[in-house]
Amino acid sequence: MPSDLQEQIKERIAKFAQEVDRRAVGWSGAHDPVAFRRMELEVAAEARRLSDEITAVLMQQIVAVPTLQASAAAAVRSSGCYRDVGRRSVAVRLLGGGSARVSVEYLRLDRRGQRGRRRRSGRRGKAGSGVYPVLAALGIWFGVTPALCGEVCRQVADSDSVRAGRAALERRGLDLGHKQTLRIVNRFSARAVEQRDRWLARARQQVARRGPFSGRRVVVATDGGRLRERRPARHGRRRTDTGHRRYDAPWREPKLLTLYVIDDQGAVVSTYQPIYDGTLGDCDALFEMLLGYLKALGAHQARELIFVGDGAKWIWERARDLAQRLGVDPSRVREVIDWCHAVAVLHEVAEARVSWTEHERARWVRRAKKLLHAGNTAAVLEAIDTLAIGRNAKAVGQHRDYFARNGARMQYAAFVAANVPTGSGAVESAIRRVINMRMKSNGMFWLEVNAQGMLLLRSYLKANRFDALVDWSIASAVPWPLPPGAPASSPVAATAAS
């Protein structure tokens, strides 16, 4: 460590010690619970200030390294048409809530000579965009350090609203304001979505290789949730108080995937964190995403690939095709209809007999459940056919096709004997925790791009993979290739081997 750097750090520590000495007498008088709590908060605030001051000194030292400056600038210039506009003083917010100024080189997109409408005053668009190469090399985007960016995104994604997330951050000395908080979360999540989509596209095109799913029993589950999308009107009068136009708020169905590993007894392998992810795209988009994940993780060599879901046709029409594209032998593929969904359809059949009492309906369902659990779907169909008479025929017949087309997926006795899961509780729980508890509530409407970003953040957060996502995203945004092994090669690689 350079001697001048050591001296600067020691100077900050000495100032911290002096401040502690000055306030120690007052702190030592905290003889009641309220005073002790306040004392502890004040000590923590002082420690955060020291942390920021040391980080600022180190950041000043790092950005001044000539080789780092030259490498970063050269990498940025090689990626596009940039021109040097000199050095600029930039304020960077730090993890403890403070800020530090650094003087760094700024490169701007060179659009001179290109045809197009000139930017109007106050309208900053692509014509005024640029990059600070050395800050980009350190993962400093959006005016904040990568650690602060990760904490802001984590807290906002984990809270039930931006306001609640800001309140939690403010208690830690991180009051960034509503607009800056939204800007950090939306820009980081949008970039992460683009990076993930590019990574999945590469994974789909590459030859499947050995991965953490090789030789494992892998369970694949998918399902859909609901949220309200905000679609602003392009025309119409604006409100006088806000200047906004009216908007439509149709329901959208975000689709979620879940991947996890089970052992020979059918229990979830706790040492391997599950994978959650989702999309607001259609069914084909979800299964393209599934193909990318499964290829990247070596699922083509899985000992067993188990698809679990409800009776939605869009799942089973694509599951077998996915296994074929993945190259998995059909003998190693199982398809399972969730037991609770199947029983729910039996109750709907019994409800169609309006002339029955509740006792008669319950008795019929008990008998049908025994047949269904034994895998005797032919007998279940016969029991349904006996009810499809007279005016009840149409209502009962609507449910018959469900059991007729899914008979092979309802061999529950065989599934239990083979220690195969018969429920889709994992993805149902993921839908609730990822979507319903954050993205679906009264008065909450989402722009599509922001909903896609929050869906990614929540998915990785609830799968305990959020830090891996942040590390991978900021490493992928660095404007030149990093040394092998420095960053994770994929958003799930950092925890896949655990």
486 has a pLDDT exceeding 60: no
Work out how many domains the chain is built from and give that number. 4
- Round to whole Å and give the CA distance between 38 and 23: 13
Retrieve residue 354's tokens. 């309006």
- Round to whole Å and give the CA distance between 180 and 190: 15
Q: What is the pLDDT of residues 136-184, one digit of tens each?
A: 999 999 999 999 999 999 999 999 999 999 999 999 889 899 999 999 9
Residues 79, 42 share a domain: no
The pLDDT score that the predictor gives to residue 94 is 96
Residues 347, 393 share a domain: yes
Indicate which CATH number applies to the domain containing 252.
3.30.420.40
- Structural domain that includes position 287: 207-234+247-338+423-464
Residues 397, 350 share a domain: yes
Residue 455 maps to a domain = yes
Confidence category of residue 242, pLDDT binned at 50, 70, 90: confident
Of the candidates 395, 413, 431, which is a domain's last residue? Answer: 413
Residues 164, 104 share a domain: yes
Q: Mean pLDDT over all residues of the chain?
A: 89
Residues 6+ apart with CB under 8 A from 155: 165, 168, 169
Least confident of 107-121, 136-150, 468-482: 107-121
Retrieve residue 428's tokens. 């149902």
Residues 141, 26 share a domain: no
Q: What is the pLDDT of residues 350-361, one digit of tens each?
A: 988 888 899 999
468, 481 Cβ separation under 8 angstroms: no
Residues 344, 334 share a domain: no
Residues 136, 22 share a domain: no
Triad 111, 479, 79: Cα angle to 5°:
35
The pLDDT score that the predictor gives to residue 498 is 42
Residue 395 maps to a domain = yes
* pTM (two decimals): 0.90
Confidence category of residue 388, pLDDT binned at 50, 70, 90: confident
